[in-house]
Amino acid sequence: MKKTATATPARRSLPLEGVCVIEIGHSLAAPYAGMILGSLGADVIKIESAEGGDYARDWGPPFIDGAAALFHAVNHGKSSITMSLSNPHDAAALRELIVRRADVVLQNLKAGGTEKYGLGSAQMLALKPSLVYCNLGAFGTTGPWRDKPGYDPLAQALSGLMSFLGGPGEPLSRIPVSVNDMGTGLWAALGILAALFRRAASGVGEVVSVSLYETALSWAGMQIADYLASGNLPGRWGSGTAAIVPHQAFACADGTIMVAAGNDRLFRRLCEVLGLPALADDVRFATNGARVEHRVELIELLQQAFGTARIAHWLDRFDAAGIPCGPIQTIDEVVAHEQTKALDILRTTDDGAASFVGLPVSFGGVRPARNGRTPKLGEHNHLLAKTPLETP
């Protein structure tokens, strides 16, 4: 029988193809939002200062082709235009570009910065009512701190996040990931998508506002809710958590593993594997609420058992029993792990210069693969001319 040729499936378009985003952003929050939108198919034009560009270009080492690896991670696939917004000619050119090309503007200049140059949200929506304009600030649009500048560590401190990080008696510490910058970028992208969805029906744009402080408050939401209910300040539990026990790291004979026995059933299985079945029936530990109240004595008993065997011994038995567990991996182990590889989440720019983590979302089982490359500073200044947008 003659074989019939199988047709090659047509390329599936990305959700934001045809959407143009102007990113008047620097550092991390706005560029991270722009990276998300660009990876989803939008054409992102990055506006950088003619005096050195985005600060994040210098946030290294390591450096790749003259720009920090961090810069590549959140700016790949964009175009770069340099200008001095204090120059009336440049500001006018940017206004014209927005009116002509943009569906979305996102910006994280200091409070009042865009308004000073005639590029604020009210000014631009008056010129283009269909525009979705997103402000990414430090502390929000109202209140005594509205004009206060801020970076991620300051938001962590002022939001209370740092007050319950670390273990009892340890020096105060911050989360060594810019969770508020990246979280604010994520909320910005979500708000922009919601506004675009509404615009599709109404034809009218709107202003979206997000800030590092509001994002930090949302991360602290559970602790704030607990405090408002009880009046008690959150404790500092190291690798553990306030409301679930045991849910933390334990030292084995040759290293440390993380175990999350999140309910009474899992706790009973844990006790059986550790050879401590009587603990599951002890009134001090029989329910999660009781275990939280008697956290110190329970963790001491469990730790004694963990220390009698090696990591591999416990992981094999916990996996067999269906108890959530795992080793505490270093980044080199994470990158090399088969699970990471299977997810196809590590990506490389189209020119092969830089590697980065792709979007943690898939459509129909396929992760967006619009990687592009990282633009040189001012590489796309020609886009200010009245020509169709070019993708780097």
User: pLDDT tens for residues 142-198?
Assistant: 999 999 888 999 999 999 999 999 988 899 989 999 999 999 999 999 999 999 999
Cα–Cα distance, 84 to 47 (Å, whole number): 10
Q: Which amino acid is at 51?
A: E
Query: What pLDDT digit, counting tens, does each position of 244-280 carry?
Result: 999 999 999 999 999 999 999 999 999 999 999 999 9
Kindly report, as residue ranges, where domains of CATH 3.30.1540.10 are found in the chain.
247-333
Fold of 247-333: formyl-coa transferase, domain 3 (3.30.1540)
Cα–Cα–Cα angle for 193, 196, 201, rounded to 5 degrees: 135
Of the ranges 125-134, 151-160, 377-386, which one carries the lowest mean pLDDT score?
A: 377-386
Sequence-distant (6+) residues with CB within 8 A of 268 are 277, 280
Residue 123 has pLDDT above 50, yes or no: yes
210's tokens: 């997000």
Fold topology of 20-219+347-384: Rossmann fold (3.40.50)
Closest to 378 measured CA to CA, from 133, 55, 50 = 50
Catalytic residue among 43, 90, 152, 181: 181
Asked if 332 is an active-site residue, the reply is: no
For residue 367, count CB atoms less than 10 angstroms from its CB and return exposed for 0-12, middle for 13-18, buried for 19 or more: middle
Flag whether pLDDT at 30 surpasses 90: yes
Q: How far apart are CA 76 and CA 354, in angstroms?
A: 9
**Which of 119, 142, 113, 140 lies closest to 131, judged by CA?**
119
> Under a CB-based contact definition with an 8 Å cutoff, are residues 313 and 274 in contact?
no
Note the pLDDT of residue 187.
98
State the DSSP code for 56: G
Q: What is the pLDDT of residues 293-313, one digit of tens each?
A: 999 999 999 999 999 999 999
Residue 52 burial (10 A CB sphere; 0-12, 13-18, 19+): exposed
Q: Which residues, including other chains, have CB under 8 Å from residue 374's CB and lie 6 or more apart? A: 64, 65, 67, 71, 72, 75, 76, 78, 349, 353, 354
Mean residue pLDDT across the chain: 92
Strand partners, 346: 357
pLDDT category at 79 given cuts 50, 70, 90 is very high
| Residue 131 in this model has a pLDDT that exceeds 70 | yes
36 with 185: CB under 8 angstroms?
Answer: yes
Chain region(s) in the chain for CATH 3.40.50.10540: 20-219+347-384
pLDDT band at residue 39, thresholds of 50, 70 and 90? very high
CA 38 remoteness from chain centre: 15
Which residues lie across from 105 on neighbouring strands?
Answer: 22, 133
Q: What is the pLDDT of residue 12?
A: 72
Q: Residue 319: is its pLDDT beyond 80?
A: yes
Q: Which residues pair with 135 in a beta bridge?
A: 107, 209
With cut-offs at 50, 70 and 90, classify the pLDDT of residue 5. very low
Average pLDDT of span 35-59: 95
**What are the DSSP calls for 161-211, one per residue?**
GGGG-S-TTSPP---SS-HHHHHHHHHHHHHHHHHHHHHHHH---EEEEEE
Tokens at residue 386, please? 């009245």
- Which phi and psi (to 5°) does residue 31 adopt? -60, -35
**Cα(220)–Cα(214) distance, integer angstroms:** 10
Band of pLDDT at residue 54, cut at 50, 70 and 90: very high
- pLDDT above 90: percentage of residues in the chain: 85
Q: Model-level pTM?
A: 0.90
